[in-house]
Amino acid sequence: MIIDKLYEQVESKGNSCVGLDTDISYIPKGLMSLHANFEDAIFEYNRRIIDATLDVTSCYKLQIAYYEAYGIKGLMAYKKTLEYIKSKGAVSIGDIKRGDISKTAEMYAKAHFEGDFETDFITLSPYMGMDSIEPYIPYMKEKNKGVFVLLRTSNPGAKDIQYIQTQSGDRVYDQVGEMIASMGKQVMGECGYSSIGAVVGCTHAEEGEKIRSKFSDTFFLIPGYGAQGGKGDDVKVYLRDGNGGVVNSSRGILLAYKGKEDGERRFDEYAREEVIRMNKDLRG
């Protein structure tokens, strides 16, 4: 199970997940000018960040919107980056937040679990219900794939729907979590976590302990750290013995070079430093 690989990566390297949400404006001018095509510059930037962080990070998450924004060429950089991560034996997460009827979900599975955009994990949105998650399960069982389903997100608007109080006395996200956990029992890894994980932002700490203990078999993808405001102490409550979750940071890592000595040339070294600092902050 892919979740076992991710668990082991966390054990040996730490909880950080490098978010390759690569906006063109983040790429140092010197690097940009070396490439005739911007898609090559995006890939080369990602490649250097990956090379500099391979031994200190558990996984890489690519937010596909940043690539889609540059159309076909942007998606070529997305594809190339995923292929590079795979060639290095590292774990990748395609942050695509898809969610659709089962026949469409089958097409998304084909798109993101094989072919051009193949990745180890994808993120999914649960609004359409559990039959929008099910079509990915054969890929989890047979092709070593996994998903993270949105549970409680890191943005202020999370409260609009996820926090609606239900007649049963809990919140919408509680019920989503129960459905995910129940479905996840089919694809449990040896590490004790399921290949159906959940996205749980670290910016609303108030119910963190309850969430961690209630969904004890669910591995968390935790956004919100760094640029979005979350700190190490906000995250720890979502981990268990230092594992059970990976913590994404994008701008915090990609832009670590800003204002630093020789930053534009050594952006990858500063990204590495930030990842190491982050690992310590999350475990310390």
Enzyme catalytic residues: 97
**In a 3-state reduction of DSSP, which class is residue 257?**
coil
> Would you give the binding string for its own copies spanning residues 191-210, x where CB under 8 A is met?
--------------------
Whole-number minimum distance, CB 23 to its own copies, in Å? 8
Decide if residue 143 touches its own copies (CB under 8 A).
no
User: In angstroms, what CA-CA distances link 18 with 12, 55, 272, 279?
Assistant: 16, 12, 10, 11
Decide if residue 182 touches its own copies (CB under 8 A).
no
Decide if residue 144 touches its own copies (CB under 8 A).
no
Window 218 to 277, contacts with its own copies (CB under 8 A): 228
**Count of residues that bind its own copies according to CB under 8 A:** 60
> Would you give the binding string for its own copies spanning residues 49-78, x where CB under 8 A is met?
--------------x-xx-xxxxx-xxx--
- Comparing CA positions, the residue from 57, 53, 58, 56 lying closest to residue 6 is 58
Cα–Cα–Cα angle for 38, 39, 43, rounded to 5 degrees? 115
* Per-residue tokens: 86: 């795979």
Which residues, 6 or more positions from 183, have their beta carbon under 8 angstroms from its beta carbon? 130, 133, 134, 137, 196
Window 18 to 37, contacts with its own copies (CB under 8 A): 21, 23
Stretch that binds its own copies, among 27-35, 157-165, 186-194, 229-237 (CB under 8 A): 157-165
Whole-number minimum distance, CB 207 to its own copies, in Å? 17
Which residues, 6 or more positions from 6, have their beta carbon under 8 angstroms from its beta carbon? 58, 59, 91, 120, 121, 146, 219, 246
Question: With respect to its own copies, which residue has the nearer C-beta, 250 or 279?
Answer: 250
Stretch that binds its own copies, among 5-13, 151-159, 204-212, 240-248 (CB under 8 A): 151-159
Among all chains, which residue has been given the structure tokens 């509680």? 174
Whole-number minimum distance, CB 242 to its own copies, in Å? 27
| Residues 234, 224: Cα–Cα separation, whole Å | 10
| Residues 225, 246: Cα–Cα separation, whole Å | 11
Decide if residue 155 touches its own copies (CB under 8 A).
yes
Q: H or E element: which one contains 105?
A: helix 102-113
Decide if residue 160 touches its own copies (CB under 8 A).
yes
Q: H or E element: which one contains 96?
A: strand 92-98
Window 80 to 139, contacts with its own copies (CB under 8 A): 97-102, 104-105, 107-108, 110-112, 115-117, 125-132
- Comparing CA positions, the residue from 46, 54, 58, 47 lying closest to residue 2 is 58
| Residues 249, 111: Cα–Cα separation, whole Å | 25
Stretch that binds its own copies, among 9-17, 32-40, 164-172, 263-271 (CB under 8 A): 164-172
Stretch that binds its own copies, among 37-45, 51-59, 159-167, 213-221 (CB under 8 A): 159-167
Whole-number minimum distance, CB 33 to its own copies, in Å? 23
- Comparing CA positions, the residue from 127, 68, 122 lying closest to residue 92 is 122
Q: Which residues bind its own copies (CB under 8 A)?
A: 21, 23, 63, 65-66, 68-72, 74-76, 79, 97-102, 104-105, 107-108, 110-112, 115-117, 125-132, 150, 153-162, 164-169, 172, 175-176, 179, 228
